[in-house]
Amino acid sequence: MPGRAGQVRDVDALIVGAGFSGLYLLHRLRADGLAVRLIDASDGPGGVWRNNRYPGARVDSHVPNYEYSLEAVWRDWSWSERFPSREDLTAYFDHVVEVLDLAGDIDLNTRARAATFDSSCHRWAVTTDVDASYSCQYLLLCTGFGSKPFIPDLPGLERFGGACHHTAQWPAEGVTLDDRHVGVMGTGASGVQVVQEAARCAARVTVFQRSPVMAIPMQQERLDPAVQHAAKAAYVDVFRRRNSSPTSFADISRLDVSALDASDAEREAVYEAAWRQGGFHFWAGTFNDVLTDERANRTAYDFWRDKTRARITDAATAELLAPTDPPYPFGTKRPSLEQTYYDCFNQSNVDLVDLRSTPIDMITPTGVRTTAGDVDLDVLVLATGFDANTGGLTAIDVRDRGGRSLAERWSHGVDTHLGMAVDGFPNMLFVYGPQSAASFCNGPVCAELQGDWVSELLRFMRAGGHDSFDVLPETGPAWSAELARFADATLFGRTDSWYMGANVPGKPRQLLNYPSSGTYIQRLRTCAARTYDGFVFDP
């Protein structure tokens, strides 16, 4: 904790959030000689991986892509699976904190509540939910894209008499699913993972589907420590390729070929190879126009559909899970990775409720009432995702020079400079936030590349004797316009997804993630090379 009650702690930089970005920034800025403090609302490091305790939680990026490139961290660490579980990931974050000796500069169980900037001394005053506050020159927000759960407005939800939990608010002591009637609302990544676990042990599982998920095979593997140890001889090159790759993976890249220029046999072979490799290969490692051309995209969808339907025995269920015609372009919602998801629907204890044809009327004390009737439940799982990208930031009452909150500023749409700064909020940066590459970039990759950029910016300020920075007002609309052009030039703008902010009612619809991590990082480097184009420094 931050010391005695009521203490104001003075630091050069305050970091909010102990996920990949926050921990890396703490390590990096501390090495630069800054006095740094990191606060996090949770009881341990790991960000989203500390908080998401639901059954089956695991990452959808394979290792060693999904870890820091710091040799001190990877040298003595081994994973148990190609796609690590939440348990492995929290152990990894504990290992990171120990190896890098970060614990002494972290205040856990400390939630940032509000922040205001004092122009007279160029410092932020930050208050928390405990009896402690901070004064800092630089406020660095690393709240991630998934720190504020979204709970839909379901009539009667508060009257449900069974166990009801959002996947990101799962009790630490767990929830018994064995021999119970379990309802899962939501079919994104967390919904897929919960269904796979619940189908093994629950008396009945009812999946409430609004739109089908286009889940692709994980191709999970157990990892042998000896094999990993031998592979580490090549890790330096692996991480070099990963951190310079357009896809932020060392081993996934798109072909410089159109799906429409390949013969049927060639196209089938490319898709089949990516399918067998598993993970995001089928999403990010095939043809160069799958996400930009509707006809090319349809070839990928048809391959996915046929592969998926072949695993589902009931024709009507297959049509709901993998429709003949795509309900949205393939890959424009983040694909979930599955192991047994589609097989679950062949079990007698798993039902699918199509909310398009039979919408929910209300939640009752005993379950869910749709227009087709009542579904009795013991457990209701809300796998309904997050107020993604912006929610973690706007949950903090951060005020600009004029006293307006960030939430108010963004109420009609997000405007940032490079997805890292907002005019009127001096000396404030956010990493892995809205309008950055975030959801199209591996967390550790963005953490390192954006973190290095932040370090270099603050070094530039110290070398020049600058007390504060801001960004020009015109930079925000210009960057938003650039993302809008991406939405129009690709198929992302045609889909109501959390990429577009469309999963939360009332949230402005706009592309919230820069869809090319390689181009995005190059834009950051160009900005720095032009003496931080768009930034203004005082004095």
Residue 2: is the preceding peptide bond cis (ω within 30°)?
no
For the cut 60, the answer to whether the pLDDT of residue 71 exceeds it is: yes
CB 535 within 8 A of CB 469: yes
Q: What is the pLDDT of residue 206?
A: 98
CA distances, 351 to each of 181, 314, 354 (Å) = 11, 12, 10
Q: Which of 521, 447, 464 is nearest to 27 (CA)?
A: 447
For the cut 90, the answer to whether the pLDDT of residue 539 exceeds it is: no
Q: What is the pLDDT of residue 214?
A: 98
CA distances, 47 to each of 39, 44, 440, 448, 456 (Å) = 11, 8, 18, 16, 25
Average pLDDT of 53-69? 97
Q: What pLDDT band is residue 3 in, cutting at 50, 70 and 90?
A: very low
Ramachandran assignment for 248, one of left (phi > 0), alpha (psi -120 to 50 degrees), beta (any other): left
Alpha helix ranges (H) inside 248-384: 264-277, 281-284, 294-309, 315-321, 341-344
Q: What is the pLDDT of residues 476-493, one digit of tens each?
A: 999 999 999 999 999 999
Average pLDDT value for the chain: 97
CA dihedral in degrees (78, 80, 85, 89; nearest 10)? -10
The distance between the two most distant Cα atoms of the chain, rounded to a whole number of Å, is 70
Q: Per-residue DSSP letters for 463-497? A: HHT--EEEE-TTHHHHHHHHHHHHHHHSSGGGS-S
Q: Which of 321, 511, 334, 496 is nearest to 416 (CA)?
A: 511
Average pLDDT of 125-130? 97
Residue percentage of the chain with pLDDT more than 90? 98
Average pLDDT of 170-192? 97
8-state DSSP, 169? G
* Rg of the chain on CA atoms, in Å: 23
Q: What is the pLDDT of residue 216?
A: 98
Average pLDDT of 112-131? 97
Structure tokens at 1: 């904790």
**Rounded distance, CA 522 to CA 514, Å?**
12
Could you give the domains of the chain? 8-148+387-473+515-538 (3.50.50.60), 157-224+244-382 (no CATH)
Q: What is the pLDDT of residues 86-115, one digit of tens each?
A: 999 999 999 999 999 999 999 999 999 999
Q: What is the pLDDT of residues 219-275, one digit of tens each?
A: 999 999 999 999 999 999 999 999 999 999 999 999 999 999 999 999 999 999 999
Q: What is the pLDDT of residues 454-465, one digit of tens each?
A: 999 999 999 999
Residue percentage of the chain with pLDDT more than 70? 99
Q: What is the pLDDT of residues 27-39, one digit of tens each?
A: 999 999 999 999 9
For the cut 50, the answer to whether the pLDDT of residue 123 exceeds it is: yes
Q: Per-residue DSSP letters for 393-442? A: HHTSEEB-TTS-BHHHHTTT----BTTTB-TT-TTEEESS-TTSSGGGS-
Q: What pLDDT band is residue 1 in, cutting at 50, 70 and 90?
A: very low
Structure tokens at 422: 């907002």
Q: What is the pLDDT of residue 7?
A: 82
Q: What is the pLDDT of residue 182?
A: 98
Q: What is the pLDDT of residue 6?
A: 67
For the cut 50, the answer to whether the pLDDT of residue 4 exceeds it is: no
Strand partners, 337: 216
For the cut 60, the answer to whether the pLDDT of residue 171 exceeds it is: yes
Alpha helix ranges (H) inside 75-219: 86-99, 189-201
Q: What is the pLDDT of residue 5?
A: 55
CB 182 within 8 A of CB 379: yes
CB 38 within 8 A of CB 26: yes
Q: What is the pLDDT of residues 353-380, one digit of tens each?
A: 999 999 999 999 999 999 999 999 999 9
**Rounded distance, CA 341 to CA 438, Å?**
26
Average pLDDT of 384-407? 97
Distance of CA 157 to the CA centre of its chain: 26
Q: What is the pLDDT of residues 319-331, one digit of tens each?
A: 999 999 999 999 9
CA geometry: angle 406, 145, 158, nearest 5 deg: 85
